[in-house]
Amino acid sequence: MKDVLNEAAAGAIPFPTRPTRYLLWVIPRTDAFLATDWANPNKEDRCWKVVPGGPDEALPGDVLATGYPVGGHDGTGHVGIVTAPSIVIAPTYNLQLSVRFASAASAPPYWWLPAQKGAFIPGTITLTDYGFRLAGFDPTDPLDVQGLKQDSTVRRFQCY
Beta bridge partners of 156: 49
Q: What is the pLDDT of residue 122?
A: 92
* pLDDT confidence of residue 36: 87
Q: How far apart are CA 114 and CA 46, in angstroms?
A: 44
Q: pTM of the full predicted structure?
A: 0.81
pLDDT of residue 110: 81
Confidence (pLDDT) at 21: 82
Where do the domains of the chain lie? 2-157
- The residue length of the chain stands at 160
Cα(42)–Cα(10) distance, integer angstroms = 28
Encode the chain (160 residues) as per-residue pLDDT tens digits: 556 665 555 555 677 877 788 888 888 888 888 888 899 999 988 889 999 999 999 999 999 998 887 766 666 688 999 999 999 888 877 778 889 999 998 888 888 888 988 999 999 999 999 999 887 776 567 567 788 899 899 999 988 6
Q: What angle do CA 135, 59, 48 make, to 5 degrees?
A: 100
